[in-house]
Amino acid sequence: MMTETVLITGASGLIGRHLSILLKDKGYRVLTLSRKPKVEGAYRWDPLNGYLDLEALRQTDHIVHLAGAGIGDRRWTEDRKKEILNSRVLSCELLYRKCMEAGAPLKTFVSASAVGYYGDEPALLEEAPAGKGFLASVCEQWELAANRFEKAGVRTVKIRTGIVLAADGGILPQMALPVRLGFGLAFGSGKQYIPWIHIDDLCTIYLQAIQNERWSGAYNAVAPEPMTNRAFTKVLAGLFHKPFWPISIPALPVQLLLGERSELLLKGSLIRSTRLYENTFRFANLRSAVSNLFSK
């Protein structure tokens, strides 16, 4: 069997780093796109200026599109909102145009998306329509750009990801720090849900999206155990043997500090999946997931 090649965008990010290791362990050849390629297997692209080295695409069997400006690391000014949207949509459109131009032998296009697709609507499954708000609009346009591959006859999978838990990046170390210092407090009402997933389980889902030819369409990549913000914080406090306080950090100071980004902490829907089953997950409950991550 010939070695298949996977091209990853956003390979230097949290998910990209972990996924690259898994794919190589499984025998795949991994290529990446970078604005300043410096390592073997990296090719140059510049989504804002419409450039992509076609040689990368001519070798590619599967694309995993993870590229996108960070959602939570800066205040959402109008310029930053535009950057968040364009970094996802324009890059996806560039991939499509250049794949068609290069005649890429593409079997699968796997695009990241997010559970932000649903806005702050209540309990939602994959069949639900896009919600309202900035993040929902970004995710909807992101997925519409990915759908161009599907219309061209390429099997297309969209991974609507929840909060990714990892020890070496993402939000978990930031959430754990105040708890470890003895400040185990929920945010706002504490009743908002945190749809979470362990980084290893997420990478396994991406691997299945590449390998399983029956997969297509959208999948909610969230663990099967629902957790409110209050319950999540309580689990962290218990694992670190720290107090959990029955009071919450009021919404107003969080909103004043973070602006519109505060919805990442203060809002959250009960997201489930009808397309992924519990045996998909090695870490199906939060306690086992966090214990694993902080034991490494």
The second-level CATH assignment, the architecture, of 5-164+196-222 is 3-Layer(aba) Sandwich (3.40)
pLDDT at 246: 86
Does this model's pTM top 0.85? My answer is yes
Task: State the pLDDT confidence band at 7, using cuts at 50, 70 and 90.
Answer: very high
pLDDT at 68: 93
Do the Cβ atoms of 158 and 146 come closer than 8 Å? Answer: yes
SS3 content of the chain, % helix, strand, coil (to 5): 45, 20, 35
Task: State the pLDDT confidence band at 220, using cuts at 50, 70 and 90.
Answer: very high
Mean pLDDT throughout 102-128?
Answer: 88
Residue 79 clears pLDDT 70, i.e. is over it: yes
Q: Which amino acid is at 210?
A: I
Rounded Cα distance between 53 and 108, Å, is: 19
pLDDT at 60: 96
Ramachandran assignment for 45, one of left (phi > 0), alpha (psi -120 to 50 degrees), beta (any other): beta
Strands laid side by side in the 42-46 sheet: 51-52, 42-46, 29-34, 5-9, 62-65, 108-114, 155-161, 217-221
Taking only the tens place, the pLDDT of each residue in 50-78 is 999 999 999 999 999 999 998 877 888 99
Q: List, as own/partner pairs, every contact residues 52-56 make where C-beta atoms lie below 8 angstroms and the sequence separation is at least 24, other chains included.
A: 52/94, 52/95, 52/98, 54/98, 54/101, 54/102, 56/7, 56/31
Rounded Cα distance between 164 and 10, Å, is: 15
pLDDT at 207: 97
> What is the distance, to the nearest Å, from the Cα of residue 166 to the centroid of all Cα atoms in its chain?
12
Average pLDDT, the chain: 91
Q: Domain residues of the chain, as ranges?
A: 5-164+196-222
Helix (H, G, I), strand (E, B) or coil at 245: strand
